């Protein structure tokens, strides 16, 4: 990095100045704000739009915002959206075609320049999720050029977690609550007798340049130590855990466990978990035409492996039962993702637990499978 500031202490005015500095650099700043009874991601133009004084109450199938007395801006857990909403949009036009006067078709590829985003408030688990999607969508021989263009222009401001939610389990997945690189700026929020402050660190040259533009409070070595202690303590206060075992092996060795029947009796196969998940990436193509038949478009949209049509072949769907579709999602996320991409597809954010309408908990299911395997029962083959 350059010789510019790499660490600093910021006040709440520093957050407003950060948004202004990023906007002045031509970036669209996206961050958390309170809207429609939730803490959502939206474009920010002023620091006052951050969710100061708001936290969340989480449980399986339950989400509520609640006021906080300390005025913290980032003392909340993952909301209904993730950053893939912006890097890997839910619906995106691929090309359009128009019939010319001579009857020939003129095809135009969608060529809008990618936006230059600045993401403010990225949690360490979501930072890891972005890295996972980078491997899936920007790596390999068939990279998604549009994803890669958006990702290359994105400026990431990560905020370390000091207060995990009741459905968080990032510590089990090794994805938080501390940030270990891959960001432009990292912040740790501290609200104590010394005031409301942010310990800031630059992780890139541009991050250092931006940090140098912000108003700084006097250096306070004790703040850095206190911030690290808060993050370390958060690791021991996770609301959920995964079993302490090789999850890849667990998924492989319990494919016919009776537990899959139990979860199938509850699962609605609605796909909420895949829509909320920050790493799920599956899409399908959708072709549309106007009423004249002279204009056509191809759109790419998110798809879910819970959709019966997702694995449909001429002979019918490959996974016809809800049991098989939930098992496919869970075993891919926790197991075969390693075979494809070299890591787990789960980052422990807990969104799939919160936004499941019947409260199915992936950590509970993993523990149940672990217990069944340890008991040495003879798993059934029904519902394959």
Residue 242 lies in a domain: no
Residue of 325, 286, 319 whose CA lies nearest to 306 = 325
- Secondary structure element (H or E) that encloses residue 376, with its range: none
Q: Residue 92 is part of which domain span?
A: 7-235
Q: What is the SS3 assignment for 117?
A: strand
11 and 143 inside one domain: yes
pLDDT of 379 reads 53
Domain count across the chain: 2
Which residues of the chain register pLDDT less than 70? 1-5, 377-384
> Residue 163 in contact with residue 75, Cβ under 8 Å?
yes
- What was the pLDDT predicted at 235? 95
Q: Is 383 helix (H, G, I), strand (E, B) or coil?
A: coil
Q: Could you tell me which of 180, 188, 193, 196 has the C-alpha nearest to residue 225?
A: 188
At a CB cut-off of 8 Å and minimum separation 6, what does 235 contact?
171, 176, 177, 178
Are 194 and 260 members of one domain? no
d(C-alpha 284, C-alpha 175), whole Å: 29
**Both 159 and 222 in a single domain?**
yes
Vertex 260 angle, CA 332 and 169, to 5°? 55
Q: Is residue 384 part of a domain?
A: no
What is the spatial distance between Cα 29 and Cα 118, in angstroms, rounded to a whole number? 5
Rounded to two decimals, the pTM is: 0.92
For 132-175, the pLDDT digits (tens) are 999 999 987 889 999 999 999 999 999 999 999 999 999 999 99
The answer to whether 32 and 121 are in contact (CB under 8 A) is yes
Residue that the structure tokens 């360490």 belong to: 124
Q: Are residues 225 and 262 in the same domain?
A: no
Residue 383 in domain: no
Domain boundary among 190, 208, 235: 235
pLDDT in tens, 237-261: 999 999 999 999 999 999 999 999 9
Q: In sequence order, what are the beta bridge partners of 242?
A: none
């Amino acid at each position: 990095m350059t010789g510019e500031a790499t660490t600093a202490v910021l006040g709440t005015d520093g957050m407003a100045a950060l948004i202004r500095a990023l906007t002045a650099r031509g970036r669209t700043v996206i961050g958390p704000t309170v809207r429609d009874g939730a803490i959502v991601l939206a474009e920010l133009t002023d620091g006052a739009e951050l969710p100061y004084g708001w936290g969340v109450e989480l449980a399986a199938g339950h989400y509520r915002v609640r006021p906080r007395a300390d005025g913290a801006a980032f003392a909340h857990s993952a909301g209904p959206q993730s950053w893939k909403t912006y890097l890997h949009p839910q619906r995106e036009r691929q090309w359009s075609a128009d019939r010319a006067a001579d009857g020939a078709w003129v095809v135009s590829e969608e060529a809008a320049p990618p936006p230059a985003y600045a993401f403010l408030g990225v949690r360490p688990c979501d930072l890891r999720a972005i890295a996972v999607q980078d491997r899936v969508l920007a790596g390999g021989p068939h990279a998604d050029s549009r994803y890669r263009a958006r990702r290359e222009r994105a400026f990431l401001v990560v905020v370390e977690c000091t207060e995990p939610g009741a459905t968080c389990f990032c510590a089990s997945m090794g994805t938080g609550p501390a940030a270990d690189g891959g960001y432009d700026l990292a912040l740790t929020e501290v609200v104590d007798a010394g005031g409301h402050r942010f310990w800031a660190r630059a992780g890139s040259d541009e991050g250092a340049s931006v940090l140098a533009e912000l108003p700084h409070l006097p250096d306070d070595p004790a703040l850095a130590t206190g911030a690290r202690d808060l993050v370390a303590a958060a690791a021991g206060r996770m609301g959920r855990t995964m079993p302490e075992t090789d999850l890849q092996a667990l998924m492989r060795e319990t494919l016919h466990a009776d537990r899959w029947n139990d979860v199938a009796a509850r699962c609605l196969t609605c796909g909420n978990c895949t829509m909320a998940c920050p790493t799920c990436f599956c899409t399908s193509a959708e072709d549309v035409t106007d009423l004249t038949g002279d204009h056509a478009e191809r759109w790419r949209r998110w798809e879910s492996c819970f959709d019966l049509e997702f694995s449909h072949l001429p002979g019918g769907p490959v996974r016809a039962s809800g049991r098989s579709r939930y098992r496919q999602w869970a075993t891919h996320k926790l197991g075969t993702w390693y075979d494809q991409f070299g890591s787990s597809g789960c980052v422990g954010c807990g969104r799939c637990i919160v936004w499941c309408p019947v409260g199915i908990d992936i950590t509970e299911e993993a523990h149940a499978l672990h217990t069944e395997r340890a008991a040495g029962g003879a798993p059934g083959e029904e519902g394959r």
